[in-house]
A and B are shown apart, each in its own frame.
Chain A
């Protein structure tokens, strides 16, 4: 997965604006897909990553902000660059809070827009990479038995075998077997690696 595969999704009700953005992005070497409304995007977007969404704030029926909220609600984590003719501060604040990547006033300098797009795509790639690791880690974690999962979490917390054995009320030997099986299943070689893997999935190690 790299920038060559990224697609810029342009949603704007103004056809000329859509075409001009497509032309600009194409000139900069990006692949572009165009949508004339928020609904059009929701209908046709297949979850393709990496990429970013260039969104007009003011659109009939469903505004850019409403689309942003809808995408967030559906867990679509496509970075969004808002284009606005208004320069409305309140709107910008709300957009950024909801997780907008950028908020640009039309007409903006093409370099600024292209930089924003590049930034957004890279972020998306990074997000995707992280989320891929996270999914792999979760799969691996799912393969563990309940006891192995407990042992892994305690290992991630940096606890020695003896402590783990005492806390779980099992023998050192058993701990050693679980530890070996766990590291084998997760494909790691150290407790530190387990800790990082758990963090990737969003699971905080229990406090010592």
Chain B
């Protein structure tokens, strides 16, 4: 094949020279030169040989013009069309359809071949194999070495490619080797015969032509999976397509086109049996192109997944690997994040649980402290409850006596019932207060008026301890806001007052005033409870705030330690000092002023 190329070029050179000479000749006779580009499928020499009859006929019928035949391979012909160096084109159906789509070419006539009854069915592919080859169907070609003219050769490749594709053999991938040899097409037949390839794709009828011309022996080669079409005298491996058209181009003058068309249709049949007829329908060619995704449908090929996969499988594999890596990374990150989130949540829950536990413990302690204070106040409470009960009893017995004695004036009896009701309500109210104080409840901190809360505690204490005398002269114009649970503050205050009173009773002067003082010191409120009681020994001072330390026979020893805990939990301090000079103790506690918020 390669050995033929210099000859082919030499041929071109000769044609070029001839053309040059003719052009000069034409110029000389004042005739315009009309260039006809011909697809040289059998080689440059064959063009002049095959188409001279047509050129001569045109020269004869249209004397105003001189027609020349220029041979091209398919790419060269297409280039010539684009460069407008030719006026007409004779080419195969496939190439024509491509030109029609890309360059606006149109057909004015279709050739009538002697081997076909209809110009619509006169072109096909024959896949030639050696007669002795073990190849019988198109599918058998898978994995074989196949020759063809070129990827853009119509009969020499594309028509057969469609059939192969439909038979399940993708010529681009399923063959061991697909080799394009270019023109002349006969080389393929020779190569197959010589055993350099398993099969060759050629234009239908070529084999018959070569046998007729004696280039090869009749029994050496055969057509693979031949289809016999009625009225078609050659064997094909494919369906049939329209024959070659005579093509005009966009820039071809209309008048010239018309003249040529008329001339062609008038042209008598050649000795070989060729003539021109009205243009055939090239739609089937279009279908072929669509199916093969070539020519005007090449774009289809660009975007199929399969095509992309074939072209870029390496890149795709890399992208896939990256995707997989990214996905794995994402999954891992997600996993780690969820793990960390879970850990964090667990930690938060643990923290929350511990805070809740601490709160519960604190509230239990608070509760215990209140119960402890109540326990220490028990006798005072009993006395307080006894009063209304004793009064009720007296009234009731008094009424009974009046009734027994027949003294039934209603007024004193009604007085008695009224008193009984009042006293039972008094008892109920005492019980209610104690219950409220003893009730187990969550501590709730809010903004409270410290002076009011202290006043309430002192009133409650004096109410249950009539012998106590508490000196308390607060500055009622002052407001002292703290963030605290009012019940806790009352608890502390009751505890300190109780201690003070007990100490004074021990010292034998219960009625001495217990001095409660309140003052403000640089955003801190300071409350002192000063008694004139028995005071404390130095070693008792050391243990004063220890739980279960007590100097009282009935005491639990929880009051002060719990009070200190409460005050410190509110951000304050609680401590005790011995009175200067005088006997007794002063207990002092401080609470921070509530931080003012916006509106206050």
Contact of B391 among A13, A19, A27 (CB under 8 A): A19
Which A residues are in CB contact (< 8 Å) with B394? Answer: 17, 20-21, 23-24, 107, 110
**How many Å from the CB of B50 to the closest CB on chain A?**
145
Residues in A neighbouring B401, C-beta threshold 8 A: 24, 27-28, 110
* Chain A 163-196 interface 0/1 with B at a Cβ cutoff of 8 Å (1 = within): 0000000000000000000000000000000000
Main SS of the interface on chain A?
A: loop
Q: Does B395 contact A (CB under 8 A)?
A: yes
Tell me whether A17 and B391 are in contact (CB under 8 A).
yes
B511 touching A20, Cβ below 8 Å: no
User: Given the interface contacts A13-B466, A28-B401, A60-B511, does A20 sit within 8 Å of B383 by beta carbon?
Assistant: no
State A59–B392 Cα separation when bound (angstroms). 20
Q: Are B386 and A16 in contact (CB under 8 A)?
A: no
Q: How far is the CB of B573 from chain A (nearest CB, A)?
A: 33
With A28-B401, A107-B389 already in contact, the answer to whether A23 and B383 are too (CB < 8 A) is no
B184 in the interface (beta carbon within 8 A): no
Q: Tell me, yes or no, whether A159 is within 8 Å of chain B by CB.
A: no
**Alpha-carbon distance A28/B398, docked complex (angstroms):** 7
A19, B390: Cα distance in complex, Å: 11
Cβ contact within 8 Å between B387 and A17: yes
Q: Once the chains bind, are A61 and B511 in contact (CB under 8 Å)?
A: yes
Q: Are B419 and A16 in contact (CB under 8 A)?
A: yes
Chain B residues with CB under 8 A of A110 = 393-394, 397-398, 401
Find out whether the CB atom of B415 lies under 8 angstroms from the CB atom of A23.
Answer: yes
Instruction: Return chain A residues, CB-CB under 8 Å to B466.
Output: 13, 58-60
A160 within 8 A of B: no
Bound state CA distance, A178 and B415, in angstroms?
A: 67
Tell me which residues across on chain B come within 8 A of A28, comparing CB atoms: 398, 401
Contact with B422, one of A16, A60, A107 (Cβ below 8 angstroms): A16
Chain A CB within 8 A of B455 CB: no
Q: Nearest A residue to B394 by beta-carbon distance?
A: A20
- B559: Cβ under 8 A from any A Cβ: no
Chain B residue with the shortest CB-CB distance to A63 = B467
- Nearest opposing residue in chain A for B386, CB measure: A85
The DSSP consensus for interface residues of chain B is helix
Residues in A neighbouring B197, C-beta threshold 8 A: none
Across the interface, A16 reaches (CB within 8 A) one of B388, B400, B416, namely: B388
- Whether, in the assembled complex, B498 has its beta carbon less than 8 Å from a beta carbon of chain A, the answer is no
| A23 CA / B396 CA spacing, docked (Å) | 9
Inter-chain CA distance A14–B422, complex, in Å, is 14
Give the docked Cα–Cα distance between A16 and B423 (Å). 7
Band of interface residues on A: 20 to 34
Measured between beta carbons, the chain A residues less than 8 angstroms from B398 are 20, 23-24, 26-28, 110
Q: Does B271 contact A (CB under 8 A)?
A: no
Nearest chain A residue, comparing its CB with the CB of B404 = A27
- Interface membership of A106, Cβ < 8 A: yes
Q: How far is the CA of A28 from the CA of B403 in the complex (A)?
A: 11
In the bound complex, residues from chain B placing their C-beta under 8 Å from that of A63 are 467
Of residues 1 through 50 on chain A, the ones whose CB sits less than 8 Å from some CB of chain B are: 13-14, 16-17, 19-21, 23-24, 26-29
Q: Which of A14, A24, A26, A60 contacts B467 (CB 8 A)?
A: A60
B399 at the binding interface (Cβ < 8 Å): yes
- B542 CB within 8 Å of chain A: no
Contact B469 A20 (CB under 8 A): no
**Is the beta-carbon distance between A14 and B387 smaller than 8 angstroms?**
yes
Q: How many angstroms between the C-alpha atoms of A106 and B392 in the bound complex?
A: 12
Q: Report the separation of the CA atoms of residues A24 and B397 in the bound assembly, to the nearest whole angstrom.
A: 7
Q: A20-B390, A107-B389 are in contact. Are A27 and B399 (CB under 8 A)?
A: yes
Residues of chain B contacted by A19 (CB below 8 angstroms): 391, 419
A13 to B395, CA, bound (A): 17
Contacts of B405 in A (CB 8 A): 27, 29
Query: A28 to B419, alpha carbons, bound, how many Å?
Result: 18
Min C-beta distance of A8 to chain B, whole Å:
13
Interchain CA distance A85-B386 in the complex, whole Å: 7
Contact indicator A58/B383 (Cβ below 8 Å)? yes
Which of chain B's residues have a CB closer than 8 A to the CB of A20?
390-395, 398, 419, 423
Nearest CB in chain B to that of A110: its residue: B397
- With a cutoff of 8 Å between Cβ atoms, the chain B residues found around residue A61 in the complex are 469, 511
Minimum CB–CB distance for B235 against chain A, Å: 137
Answer yes or no: B194 CB below 8 A from chain A CBs.
no
Q: CA–CA, A23 to B419, complex, Å?
A: 10
Known A21-B394, A63-B467; 7 more pairs at CB < 8 Å: A16-B419, A23-B412, A24-B394, A26-B412, A27-B399, A61-B469, A107-B390
- Chain A positions near chain B (C-beta within 8 angstroms): 13-14, 16-17, 19-21, 23-24, 26-29, 58-61, 63, 85-86, 106-108, 110
20 chain-A/chain-B pairs, Cβ below 8 angstroms: A16-B419, A17-B387, A17-B391, A19-B419, A23-B394, A23-B398, A23-B419, A24-B394, A24-B397, A27-B401, A27-B402, A29-B405, A58-B383, A58-B467, A60-B511, A85-B390, A86-B383, A110-B394, A110-B397, A110-B401
